Amino acid sequence: MGQLKRFIAEVLGFEGWKVEDWWWVKPNGVRYKPVSRVLVSPGTKLVVTVRRTWMGRCSECGRRCRKVHEHGELRGWQDLPWCGHPVEIEYAPDRLKCRHCQSACVELLPWAEPYQRETMRLQQHMALDTSSMPTSHVAARYGVGWHVVRRAERHALERWQATRSPEPLTMVGIDEKYLGRRNTFEDKYVTIVSNLQNGEPIWIGFGRGEATVRQWLDTLASEDKAAIKLFAMDMHAPFMAAIRNDKELAHADIVHDPFHVMKRAAQAIDELRRQLFFRGGPEMRAIGRGKRWLFLRAWEKCTPEQREELKRLLGYNGKLARAYQAVEELRGVLHAPDELTMLLGLCHVLRRIERRDNKPMRKLHDSLESHFKEIIALGKHRPPVGRVEALNNNWETLVRQGRGYRDLQFLLLKLRFAIANPIREEDGVLRFLALGLPVPYRQAA
């Protein structure tokens, strides 16, 4: 049987470990040794006991350690299934007395982290599955509880996180996000702080007021604040107040990214459209129905047919047509190559929408005017705001799947992983499947 043991050890794939014994366990718990020429029914569990052949390693410092403090009890770890059979690894881990770090800890195991009942590779697989399946489905697939899947996901993501070095924070994005209407939180919003350089979120907290941003600022040291050059945010007054009221951030500039400025403009156009078509009687309502998206779309991105239709709709009302043109001009201005062009362009847009008889556009005018400085600062800094969109898209997906996430730190970790490993690129897919790790499971023993 020596050859068979070697073969099973090879399949398990832990260097420095031998297979001592193996047997089957039926779903009703009855154990039996394999009998030749009798096929095993699917669902029968394979249990493999292993033994270390090398000196153990300390799980605190990772160094080899000869001295055994005490022998432990036999334990089992659920591993990846093998051809439809659940697999369990059994071993009695020693408690070692480490002469390097003086700790008396359980030895390092190549397949699992301390105190875990599942192997790391099973945790990786469960974590990956949860990105495309509800947690309850993953739990049913591996025959474990919901909390086991959640814990596995967290451990797998934390292992990924541990491999990453912190990036310097010089440009910061602050954004509010809606948690969705299904949750029962008192605060329906969270504030996400991200590093604009790589688009990754770094902090998350409930609420969208000045106090929320303060909570984050309080986690920073004075040197961290000194290194920050720029804050990009939407036109939300409490966020600006939080930055402006911090004396250590007096040197930092605030900009409003184009995404949020255009969102404000889109609201104004939409309000105007509703006024004209929906409050203009049944005939107008029939013409304007279901056309919201068309008015919000950039002219450049419209197909020739869409442009024709838009022209026809704008033909009904001069006010709406002028507003649409002004918003299109604003879109162009926000991408101006330098500060001066942007300044002149913005002044021109403001003149076009300042008439008081057009209420929605006048509201947009006042809001743009009061944030004039922060919009013009866009031309000076040109922050990489495109990354913010990756954050927005991933946020929508996560919240749609997750519904009520109770644990914001976990949500942050998930979001960061999804943004750091975009699955649109081929090597991103590979990194994603390896859960961001260069080698899926590092060797130990």
Q: Which is nearer to Zn ion, 48 or 444 (CB)?
A: 444
Closest CB 59 distance from Zn ion, rounded Å: 8
Closest CB 438 distance from Zn ion, rounded Å: 24
| Token pair 């920050």 in the structure block, residue | 228
Contact range with Zn ion by CB under 5 A, out of 6-14, 95-103, 315-323, 407-415? 95-103
Q: Which is nearer to Zn ion, 56 or 199 (CB)?
A: 56
Q: Which is nearer to Zn ion, 108 or 217 (CB)?
A: 108
- Cβ density class 95-127: b for 16+ within 10 Å, e for less: bbbbeeeebebbbbbbbbeeebebbbbbbbbbb
Q: Which is nearer to Zn ion, 61 or 302 (CB)?
A: 61
Contact range with Zn ion by CB under 5 A, out of 28-36, 44-52, 93-101, 233-241? 93-101
In order, the DSSP letters of 142-180 are: HT--HHHHHHHHHHHHHHHHHTPPPPP--EEEEEEEE--
Residues from 99 through 118 that contact Zn ion (CB under 5 A)? 100-101
Of the residues 19, 50, 89, 98, which one makes contact with Zn ion according to CB under 5 A: 98
Count interface residues toward Zn ion (CB under 5 A): 6
Two tokens, residue 49: 């006991």
Q: At what angle do helices 318-333 and 359-370 cross, to 10 degrees?
A: 20
Residue type, 213: V
| Token pair 């794939």 in the structure block, residue | 13
Closest CB 153 distance from Zn ion, rounded Å: 29
Residues from 344 through 403 that contact Zn ion (CB under 5 A)? none
Q: Are 371 and 235 in contact (CB under 8 A)?
A: yes
Alpha-carbon distance of 211 to 203, in angstroms, equals 14
The HSE-up count of residue 88 (CA atoms within 13 Å, CB side) is 18
Alpha-carbon distance of 388 to 378, in angstroms, equals 15
Q: Which is nearer to Zn ion, 60 or 374 (CB)?
A: 60
Q: Which is nearer to Zn ion, 63 or 311 (CB)?
A: 63
Residues from 47 through 86 that contact Zn ion (CB under 5 A)? 58, 60-61
Closest CB 390 distance from Zn ion, rounded Å: 41
Residues lying near Zn ion in the complex (CB under 5 A) are found at 58, 60-61, 98, 100-101
